Amino acid sequence: MKVLIQICSFGAAMLIAFTVTMYSLPQRRGEVPPEPKAVDLSQMTMGDFVALGDDLYRNRGSCPLCHNDLGRAPDLEAMDVVGELEKTLAKPEYKGEAKTVEEYLRESMVNPSAFVVKGFGKKGSNDTESPMPASDAPPAQLSATEIDAIIAYLQDKDGYKVTVTLPEASKEEDKSTETASAAAPAKPPEFAQTPEQALAKYACGACHTLGKVESVVGPDLNTVAQRLSLAEIRESIIAPKAEVAEGFPDIMPDYGARMSVGELEMISQYLFQLGDHGSQASGNTLPEEQASNSTGDHSSS
């Protein structure tokens, strides 16, 4: 009996140690992206369409999962996409069928192996086969309209003219789908009710460190109040190019035309109040963390 008690205690001590280790790690629940649902394409402006592309790019498309600065795929957010692609199209090595940047982007999403950028092919394929799944197939399963929206976003982000045409409401044959959050601009605008909702709606955590989610694309928002006043925070959201933080790329979109005044105020106040309490606030699970979790896009070991 003594031996039994000893070995049981020994085993229990090990199990407690392992479990406590699990408890000591960051606790996040990975939320599930909403099921795609039909979208009303009427009254959609080009700004809405670009915003839809932005949302699809980050969430359902999970593009930043690979297109980031880790070298898995070209870093689309950091590069001048249209400028670079114009050069690629002019090169004799280009083997695809696209003639314009728009066609190139569409081809690379629907048929990623049509042309693989040197060094980004599947291992052993000598850059003839792309590891990227076709965007119109699962898991992303984007419709033609959604692919157009991402193209619009990629053209717009660096200030180039958007060449894709807006989807027509009468195009009933186009079985366009969209996430619930992205559908908002097409309907009477649904304003965020809380700062957390607003931060999630505009995917601030995709580029900025916020709460527990880290991102090095933009400055850390947990500590923004230590650097900026409330007015400066407001200004940096509605006119981000007015003053770009040192060491960061000038890529933040202008949210002045997209945000409601209420949302802007909520976000500004929230970030300002984080201040020195940023670490405590980061203990809460913010909606954008959940969105990030669902794409699995966070850095760790």
Partner 1 sequence: MHSATEMLKRYTIVLLLGGALLLVLLLVLGLGDLAVASTDAASTQAAESVEAVTGASSQGAPRLSEGDYPDVGVSSRSLVWLVAQLHLFFAALVLAVPIFVLVIELIGIFSSDDRYDDMAHEFMKITLTSYAITALFGGALTIALVLLYPDFMSYMTRVFRGQLLVYPVLFFLESLLLYIYYYGWYAMRYGQRKWMHVGLGLLLNFVGLALLMVANSWSTFMMAPSGVDAQGVVTGSMWEAMAGHLWNPLNIHRFIANIAFGGAVVGAYAAFKFLNASTAEDRAHYDWMGYTANFIAILGFLPLPFAGYWLTAEVYAYSQQMGIMSMGGILAWTFVIQAVLVCTILFAANYYLWTGMTRTDGADRYQWLVKYIAIVMVLGFLVWVTPHNVIYTVAEKAQLGGGHHPILAPLGIMPAKNIAVFLMLVFTFLSFQIYRRADKVITVPWKNWGNALMVCIYLVATVNIIFAGVYYGYYTNTVYKVGSSVMQVASTVVVIISGVVIDTLMFKGAEKMPVTWGRVSARSQYALFALPVVFTWLMALMGYVRSAMRGHWHVYTVMRDNSPDNYVPTLAYVGNMVSLSTVIFLTFLLFVFWVADLSNVRQIKPVASGLVGGDAR
3-state DSSP assignment of residue 210:
strand
Residues 244-281 as b or e (16 or more Cβ within 10 Å = b) = ebeeeeebbbebeebbeeebbebbbebbbebeeebeeb
Q: What is the smallest separation between the CB atom of 4 and partner 1, expressed in angstroms?
A: 8
From the list 21-29, 78-86, 236-244, 259-267, the region that binds partner 1 by CB under 8 A is 21-29
- Two structure tokens written together for 73: 């795929």
Helices 46-58, 144-156: inter-axial angle, 10-degree rounding: 100
Residue 163 CB burial class (10 angstroms; 0-12, 13-18, ≥19): middle
What part of residues 212-231 is at the interface with partner 1 (CB under 8 A)? Answer: 212, 214, 216, 220, 222-223, 226
- Binding to partner 1 by residue 27, rule CB under 8 A? yes
Sequence-ordered list of residues with C-beta below 8 angstroms from that of 170, at least 6 positions apart, any chain: none
| Cβ 290 vs Cβ 31: under 8 Å | yes
Of positions 5, 25, 90, 261, contacts partner 1 by CB under 8 A: 25
C-beta closer to partner 1: residue 106 or 212: 212
Of positions 39, 52, 62, 108, contacts partner 1 by CB under 8 A: 62
Q: What is the smallest separation between the CB atom of 210 and partner 1, expressed in angstroms?
A: 12
- Binding to partner 1 by residue 272, rule CB under 8 A? no
What part of residues 136-155 is at the interface with partner 1 (CB under 8 A)? Answer: 137-139
CA distance 87 to 90: 5
- Binding to partner 1 by residue 279, rule CB under 8 A? yes
Residue 153 CB burial class (10 angstroms; 0-12, 13-18, ≥19): buried
Of positions 70, 78, 169, 180, contacts partner 1 by CB under 8 A: 70
List the x/- string, 100-139, binding to partner 1 by CB under 8 A. Answer: -------------------xx-xx-------xxx---xxx
* Residue 131 CB coordination number (10 Å): 15
Query: Site residues (CB under 8 A) for partner 1?
Result: 3-4, 6-8, 10-11, 14-15, 18-19, 21-23, 25-33, 35, 62, 65-66, 70-72, 119-120, 122-123, 131-133, 137-139, 209, 212, 214, 216, 220, 222-223, 226, 276, 278-279, 282, 293-301
